[in-house]
Amino acid sequence: MKLLEYEAKDLFRARGIPTAPTGGVIKKAAQINGALKRAGRGPWVLKAQVLVGGRGKAGGVQIAKTPKEAREKAKFILGLKLVTHQSHGQAVPVKELLIDRAVDIEREMYVSVAMDRAKACPIVIASAEGGMEIEELAKTRPEAILKLPIDPGVGLLDYQARSLAFKMKVPAPLLGTFVKFAKSLVKLYLDMDASLVEVNPLVVTKKGELLALDGKVLIEDNALYRHPEFAKRGDLEASALEKEAKKVGLNFIALDGDIGCLVNGAGLAMATMDSVKLAGGSPANFLDVGGGANAEQVTRAFQIILKDAKVRAILVNIFGGIMKCTTIAEGVLAAAKRVKLKVPLVVRLEGTKVEEGKEILAKSGLAMIQADSLWDAAQKAVRAAKSVDANGAKRMAVAS
Amino acid sequence: MSILLNKDSKLVVQGLTGQAGSFHAQQCIEYGSKVVAGVTPGKGGTTHLNVPVFDTVADAVKLAGADVSLIFVPPPFAADSILEAADAGIRLIICITEGIPVLDMAKVHRALRQHAAAGHPVRLVGPNCPGVITPGQCKAGIMPGYIHKAGPIGVVSRSGTLTYEAVWQLTSRGLGQSTVVGIGGDPLPGTSFTDVLELFQGDADTQAVVMIGEIGGGAEEEAARFIKDKMTKPVYSFIAGSTAPPGRRMGHAGAIIEGGAGTHGSKVEALKAAGVVMVENLSAIGESVAERELVTRRN
């Protein structure tokens, strides 16, 4: 779960990590005066609170020198729908605006804590060069990036923090401050079960302060049960449909295509999407219905898939392992009858009692297209989707 | 031979009396696996599915001779169960549980490294995996037993149902499996592709290996380096996720493209360069392996 910048910086301040003086978050431009007062004298930085990167270049971060300018810019940013290089073509509306006091920057640095999958331990990633995206720096100047593995049971030790400071050429008077900062950041990562804590930029101001000017915190989803305050708040990135799916225990991600996929197992669900693409189509979603592909779950999955108006065909791909294909076939039938499908349905079952399962489907009288392999199913789904015209009216082929 | 499990493996099921533990332990017993003990703290001294239940793994080792642990404990307690098994002297721990916090697993890895340094190496398979099966000898996991058949192909995979799909295609073409290992879909798996490839390379009964990967992390790229340097047996591979959008977790906690790393393209390229036969179409795995390996066997 990704936190907004101000949520991350609230966590920072609660652990003694200094940030720029802040006026807090506003939702309406009319609330600007209070925020400016809280932040102290200007100029101020107005920052759109969105979860997508690249907001600065898209106009979501602006400086204001006077209260009048601040109000105008607040109104402007709060009306923005940000399309950034990281938003995958989506327009992200700005609902909240953070008002911070602007600081005079002497130097920008980078520090983050993340999980190193190969080493199976957390690492601190740091660079004397901050401000730009770390992925960009990794490409252009990998030698400028420092990596330090951490013992998850111990945290960051003083000497490790000092060694980072020396390599980053942190000014001598700030050595102690940096050590405290780095240790607190790692402690925050461990305490919050984060999968990423990032400060970019970490700045040295002209006055000689060390401040976290921006903050990113990701809490690992599997550990949310230990952080009920955030579990309750919900995932801000998930679409309404994705949230609805999650509530009923479906693993669902909306995509751009027109073939709805209903699969058991995450890996097979991904491979099903890949097969659809390989057959010349485009998947509308990733959907893992879980191990118990019963009538209830399949019904819910159909309902979620059909809420996407782009869907012109549904591909059901289920490997009947411990659950027999006959049970799955009955479940699919019950669900299809309940939901009253208006788009072609392609079903591919495999596994225990597959022949009997297929027979149940064939005898049902329900219009559906059966397939023998995933590849066969993908091809049939692509053809079926193309047979449905843009208005959604079906010109459905007779079940094969 | 085979790897990890054979007909003499003696399983202790941690979480035997729970719903998932009961159901799958029963399936393992029906397959012919030797389930010698269960562990549920507080239920020691009882029996469940005709299997003696102990309070601790140490008791299950001492009194029932268990040497492999199969874990069905809920996520908040699973890391503790892994460490208990390791401390009790279990050398192969298979953890089925999905949803263990990554930080808990980082601490488990640290503890297992200490076990290894002290001269007691422990192998953890999983978590978030279907388990391990040596067809005809021992099933320790949640996979449907009947789709497997004993034979010369080693299979290793990060995904459950995707493994079943591949195994079924092999079995349907008369190609049996030496051992099938699900290493799991988490970011910090106890056993890596490379670990399993090394075991298959050293196993006289394994003629070729099918490796099923997916987006996220660098385990496939690491495996490619091992294959290039050390592997003489043929490797076939399918990588799921060519259509997965970056930055989204595709069901498995570990299946995510982060900061441009762990892409489908990067994995396919690395494996191809290592001489692996890449299968683009999932439905063609069985056929690709059969084409080459059935001929090889006849020679």
Interchain pair B240, A275: CB under 8 A? no
A197 contacts on B by Cβ (under 8 Å)? none
The two three-digit tokens of residue A103, written as one number: 């600081």
> What pLDDT score does B299 carry?
47
- List the single residue in A222, A268, A278 with the smallest CB-CB distance to B99: A222
Q: Dump pLDDT digits (tens) for B101-110.
A: 999 999 999 9
Shortest distance, CA B165 to any CA of chain A (angstroms): 7
**Computed over its alpha carbons, how large is the radius of gyration of chain B?**
19
For position B84, which CATH number holds? Answer: 3.40.50.720
**H runs (alpha helix) in A126-279:** 134-140, 158-167, 175-191, 228-233, 240-247, 266-278
Based on the domain organization, do B187 and B240 belong to the same domain? yes
The answer regarding whether domain A21-102 maps to CATH 3.30.1490.20 reads yes
Shortest distance, CA A275 to any CA of chain B (angstroms): 7
Based on the domain organization, do B151 and B293 belong to the same domain? yes
The two three-digit tokens of residue B126, written as one number: 């999983």
> What pLDDT score does A393 carry?
47
Asked if B238 and B169 count as a contact pair (C-beta separation under 8 A), the reply is: no
Fold of A1-19+104-237: D-amino Acid Aminotransferase; Chain A, domain 1 (3.30.470)
Q: Which entry of B24, B109, B120, B252 is annotated as an active-site residue?
A: B252
pLDDT score of B162 more than 90: yes
> What pLDDT score does A395 carry?
44
Q: Is B284 within 8 Å of chain A by CB?
A: yes
**Residue B195 domain flag:** yes
A14-18, A216-220, B213-217, B245-249, range with the lowest pLDDT: B245-249
pLDDT score of B257 more than 90: no
Query: Taking the complete model, does pTM exceed 0.90, yes or no?
Result: yes
* Residue of chain B whose alpha carbon sits nearest to that of A226: B76
Q: Is B148 within 8 Å of chain A by CB?
A: no
Asked if A195 and B259 count as a contact pair (C-beta separation under 8 A), the reply is: no
The two three-digit tokens of residue A367, written as one number: 């219009």
Q: Is B286 within 8 Å of chain A by CB?
A: no
Interchain pair B161, A265: CB under 8 A? yes
Please tell me the distance from the alpha carbon of residue B147 to that of residue A17, in angstroms, as a whole number: 56
**H runs (alpha helix) in chain B:** 19-31, 57-64, 75-87, 102-117, 160-172, 193-201, 219-230, 264-273, 285-298
Nearest to A270 by CA among B12, B186, B158: B158
Phi and psi at residue A315, in whole multiples of 5°?
-110, 120
CATH 3.40.50.261 domain locations along chain A: 240-387
Contacts across the A-B interface (CB distance below 8 Å): 163
Nearest to A77 by CA among A64, A59, A92, A65: A59
Fold of A240-387: Rossmann fold (3.40.50)
Most confidently modeled of A10-14, A57-61, A325-329? A10-14
Asked if B64 and B34 count as a contact pair (C-beta separation under 8 A), the reply is: no
A36 Cβ contact partners less than 8 Å away, ≥ 6 residues apart: A23, A42, A44, A67, A70, A99
Asked if B69 and B25 count as a contact pair (C-beta separation under 8 A), the reply is: no
B261, burial (CB in 10 Å: exposed 0-12, middle 13-18, buried 19+): middle
Based on the domain organization, do B227 and B284 belong to the same domain? yes
**Residue B131 domain flag:** no
Shortest distance, CA B116 to any CA of chain A (angstroms): 15
> What pLDDT score does B260 carry?
79
The two three-digit tokens of residue B28, written as one number: 């393992």
Interface test with A, best of B225, B283, B285 (most A CBs within 10 A): B283
Asked if B214 and B185 count as a contact pair (C-beta separation under 8 A), the reply is: yes
Interchain pair A267, B157: CB under 8 A? yes
| Distances, alpha carbon B69 to alpha carbons A64, B92, B94, B131, B138, in Å | 63, 6, 6, 11, 13
Interface test with B, best of A84, A253, A268 (most B CBs within 10 A): A268
pLDDT score of B253 more than 50: yes
For position B279, which CATH number holds? Answer: 3.40.50.261
Q: Is B142 within 8 Å of chain A by CB?
A: yes
* Residue of chain A whose alpha carbon sits nearest to that of B107: A152
Asked if B48 and B14 count as a contact pair (C-beta separation under 8 A), the reply is: no
> What pLDDT score does A397 carry?
40
B280 contacts on A by Cβ (under 8 Å)? 278
Q: Is B67 within 8 Å of chain A by CB?
A: no
pLDDT score of B223 more than 70: yes
- List the single residue in A152, A190, A268 with the smallest CB-CB distance to B159: A268
**Residue B198 domain flag:** yes
What percentage of chain A exceeds 70 in pLDDT? Answer: 95
pLDDT score of A367 more than 90: no
- List the single residue in B157, B188, B248 with the smallest CB-CB distance to A120: B188
Q: Give the DSSP letter of residue A290.
A: -
Which DSSP string corresponds to A20-47?
--EEEEESSGGGHHHHHHHH-SS-EEEE
Based on the domain organization, do B101 and B164 belong to the same domain? no
Asked if B224 and B238 count as a contact pair (C-beta separation under 8 A), the reply is: no
Based on the domain organization, do B157 and B281 belong to the same domain? yes
Nearest to B212 by CA among B130, B122, B140, B145: B130
Nearest to B267 by CA among B234, B231, B241: B241
Cα dihedral B101, B103, B109, B110, rounded to 10, equals: -150
Identify the residue whose tokens are 């391990």.
Answer: B132
Shortest distance, CA B249 to any CA of chain A (angstroms): 9
Shortest distance, CA B57 to any CA of chain A (angstroms): 24
- List the single residue in B104, B215, B218 with the smallest CB-CB distance to A117: B218
Interchain pair B283, A275: CB under 8 A? yes
Confidence label for A7 from pLDDT (cuts 50, 70 and 90): very high
The two three-digit tokens of residue A125, written as one number: 């990633």
Asked if A149 and A119 count as a contact pair (C-beta separation under 8 A), the reply is: yes
Interchain pair A319, B251: CB under 8 A? no
Q: Dump pLDDT digits (tens) for A141-153.
A: 889 999 999 999 9
The two three-digit tokens of residue A56, written as one number: 């600065």
pLDDT score of A211 more than 90: yes
Q: Dump pLDDT digits (tens) for B21-77.
A: 999 999 999 999 999 999 999 999 999 999 999 999 999 999 999 999 999 999 999
pLDDT score of A65 more than 70: yes
Higher pLDDT pick, A400 / A58: A58
Final residue before a domain boundary, out of B79, B97, B125: B125
Q: Dump pLDDT digits (tens) for A85-114.
A: 776 667 889 999 999 999 999 999 999 999
Higher pLDDT pick, A300 / A270: A270
Phi and psi at residue B92, in whole multiples of 5°?
-130, 115
Amino acid at position A294, single letter: N
Based on the domain organization, do B115 and B147 belong to the same domain? no
ω into A201 cis (within 30 of 0) = yes
B254 contacts on A by Cβ (under 8 Å)? 117
Interface test with B, best of A117, A198, A376 (most B CBs within 10 A): A117
Please tell me the distance from the alpha carbon of residue B60 to that of residue B58, in angstroms, as a whole number: 5
Segment B207-214 mean pLDDT: 97
* ipTM confidence score: 0.92
Interchain pair B283, A376: CB under 8 A? yes
Please tell me the distance from the alpha carbon of residue A257 to that of residue A273, in angstroms, as a whole number: 10
- List the single residue in B159, B222, B280 with the smallest CB-CB distance to A266: B159
**Residue B256 domain flag:** yes
Asked if B112 and B157 count as a contact pair (C-beta separation under 8 A), the reply is: no
Interchain pair B110, A152: CB under 8 A? yes
Interchain pair B245, A255: CB under 8 A? yes
Q: Give the DSSP letter of residue B252.
A: S
B212 contacts on A by Cβ (under 8 Å)? 267
A39 Cβ contact partners less than 8 Å away, ≥ 6 residues apart: A21, A22, A23, A99, A100, A101
pLDDT score of A330 more than 90: no
What mean pLDDT, rounded, does chain A reach? 90
* Residue of chain A whose alpha carbon sits nearest to that of B111: A153
SS3 A12: helix
Amino acid at position B167, single letter: V
Please state at what angle helix B75-87 crosses helix B57-64, rounded to 10 degrees: 40
Q: Is B254 within 8 Å of chain A by CB?
A: yes
Nearest to A185 by CA among A215, A141, A229, A230: A215
Interface test with A, best of B143, B165, B249, B267 (most A CBs within 10 A): B165
Interchain pair B102, A276: CB under 8 A? no
Q: Dump pLDDT digits (tens) for B169-197.
A: 999 999 999 999 999 999 999 999 999 99
pLDDT score of B296 more than 90: no
Identify the residue whose tokens are 């268990």.
Answer: B66
Please tell me the distance from the alpha carbon of residue B66 to that of residue A265, in angstroms, as a whole number: 31
**Residue B274 domain flag:** yes
Nearest to B237 by CA among B252, B251, B227: B227
- List the single residue in B27, B251, B280 with the smallest CB-CB distance to A322: B27
Interface test with B, best of A274, A323, A348, A355 (most B CBs within 10 A): A274
- List the single residue in A138, A283, A288 with the smallest CB-CB distance to B251: A288
Interchain pair B251, A88: CB under 8 A? no
Please tell me the distance from the alpha carbon of residue A289 to that of residue A9, in angstroms, as a whole number: 37
Interchain pair A220, B100: CB under 8 A? no
What mean pLDDT, rounded, does chain B reach? 95
- End-to-end CA, chain A: 44
Domain span at B48: 10-125
Interchain pair B280, A277: CB under 8 A? no
Q: Is B147 within 8 Å of chain A by CB?
A: yes
Nearest to A350 by CA among A383, A379, A373, A316: A373
Final residue before a domain boundary, out of B66, B92, B125: B125
| Distances, alpha carbon A363 to alpha carbons A241, A352, B31, in Å | 34, 19, 33
> What pLDDT score does A389 carry?
58
Segment B255-259 mean pLDDT: 85
Segment A340-350 mean pLDDT: 89
Based on the domain organization, do B192 and B225 belong to the same domain? yes
Instruction: Specify the number of domains making up chain B.
Output: 2
> What pLDDT score does A340 carry?
81
A191 contacts on B by Cβ (under 8 Å)? none
Based on the domain organization, do B110 and B193 belong to the same domain? no
pLDDT score of B211 more than 70: yes
Please tell me the distance from the alpha carbon of residue A47 to that of residue A253, in angstroms, as a whole number: 29
Final residue before a domain boundary, out of B125, B155, B174: B125
The H or E element containing residue A71 is helix A67-78
**Computed over its alpha carbons, how large is the radius of gyration of chain A?**
26
CATH 3.30.470.20 domain locations along chain A: 1-19+104-237
pLDDT score of B248 more than 90: no
